[in-house]
Amino acid sequence: GVDVEIVTKDPQIKGFSVVKRRWVVERTIGWLMHHRRLVRDYETRPHNSASMITLAMIDNLAKRLTTETTPTWREPPQPQHTQNT
């Protein structure tokens, strides 16, 4: 049920050219690189690597569904407001 469209670079154009929807792939790879185990190539079998990618995407989806806001190195910690009573 998934349509895959392979987009190739025009061989007539030399140098940089914009490739259709390339940003989607780059964004997804960026999301995957937030998971430590996928940053380095630890897996020796393609099946294991595919499983780790699936787990990483499940984790990303679960965080979006639960609106979890885990602080990361990219986001400075928010100051804690305390009530003085």
- Give the number of domains in the chain: 1
pLDDT confidence of residue 41: 74
pLDDT confidence of residue 54: 92
For 12-42, b/e burial (b = at least 16 CB within 10 A) is eeeeeeeeeeeeeeeeeeeeeeeeeebeeee
Would residue 8 count as lying in a domain?
no
Is the full-model pTM beyond 0.85?
no
**Could you tell me the residue range of the domain that residue 59 belongs to?**
22-66
Specify the higher pLDDT residue, 11 or 76. 11
Would residue 13 count as lying in a domain?
no
Would residue 5 count as lying in a domain?
no
Would residue 62 count as lying in a domain?
yes
Would residue 73 count as lying in a domain?
no
Would residue 45 count as lying in a domain?
yes
| 15-73 pLDDT tens trace | 887 777 788 888 888 888 888 888 777 778 888 888 888 999 998 888 888 876 666 66
pLDDT confidence of residue 77: 61
Q: For residues 17 and 5, what is the distance between their CA atoms, to the nearest angstrom? A: 18
Q: For residues 33 and 72, what is the distance between their CA atoms, to the nearest angstrom? A: 13
> Which residue, chain included where needed, has tokens 């099946």?
47
